Amino acid sequence: MARVHVSVLGAGAWGTALAALASARADVLLWARAPEVADAIGRARRNPRHLSDIELPSALRATADLDAALDHVLDAPGPGLIVLGVPMAGLADICAQLASALPAQRDRPLHLLWTCKGIDPDTLQLPHQIIAGHLPRRPWLHAGVLSGPSFAREVAQGLPVALTLAAGDPGTGTVCQAAYHGVQARIYTTPDIVGVEVGGALKNVMAIACGISDGLRLGTNARAALITRGLAEIQRLGIALGGQADTFSGLAGLGDLVLTATGGLSRNRQVGVAVGEGRRLEDILAGGMTAEGVRCARAALELGSRHALDLPITEIVCRVLFDGLAPREAVAALLTREPRPE
């Protein structure tokens, strides 16, 4: 396969890390919304806003011109890959921009990946549904989701990582592997877009629950129980929405859950720890802490209700975050539920 041309749209921590990772194997251009960020990456090899202490590869180029970023893949002599490195809150906007910027017709395929994790709190949509609603279908544009256990900082530092690429077209997996699969990264493929997305969304809610438990100093037994029963909830909702059961025992399910629920770099776990230690959610978020699980929890509970599913950990997290239930009372509420077979 010819050298892949990659345009990563979004210079946040994860977009920057994915651009740095691909630059070892592909021709990469990173789009930053702010011109000063693109300039600093090109001049000083640093992103001044995210992962600013990590030197970026010399092969990585950056631009603040979205048209230039798209031309980089549209005009490539070989395979082209667009990676959306934006959070859930920015997904609809970037897709609307792509809808007006991409050509209506093209004689070669182009591949699109998204990396955000969550459920839209207003529409209850998963990322692929948001993309379908804001980016009209083009037969030559093949899309998929890249997910799995990964902290942006470790990827940018060059540490090993394994990820899952879910796409309907096998060619998207081939192109993604050509750009990313190598010594540092392993890319596994699956057709299960829904399962991968549900795993990526709900693991953040479960990480908040584990953080609350850790903030209360309830021990590793309690954390292991929350991870195990949390995985059961994730699988329950994922299957109801059309996901495949096996997905949840893989990287995008169990793997991502374990990392996010136990890793020190997990913002969702950090929010949970702070709540468990007695801090108010409003104060935590006002301090600049962001966690997708906070946005996702209510939406996940509502989706579960629509499918008549029992999601007790998700429900308790919502009651603690939004209804004023004391964390220790939440633990008691979970422990005193009616006994049942596993």
Q: Which residues are catalytic?
A: 203
**Which residues, other chains included, contact 87 with Cβ-Cβ below 8 Å and sequence gap of 6+?**
12, 116, 118, 292
Residue with tokens 């970026």: 56
SS3 122: coil
Helices (H), 30-169: 35-44, 66-74, 88-101, 127-134, 152-156
**Dist CA 50 CA 282 (whole Å):** 24
**Dist CA 38 CA 56 (whole Å):** 12
Give exposure, 40-63, as e/b (b: 16+ Cβ within 10 Å).
bbeeeebbeebbeebebbeebbbb
Beta pairing partners, 63? 31
For residues 92 and 134, is the Cβ–Cβ distance under 8 A?
yes
DSSP single-letter state for residue 339: P
**Dist CA 252 CA 260 (whole Å):** 11
Full strand arrangement of the beta sheet holding 141-147:
61-63, 27-31, 5-9, 80-84, 110-114, 141-147, 161-167, 185-190
- E strands in the chain: 5-9, 27-31, 61-63, 80-84, 110-114, 141-147, 161-167, 185-190
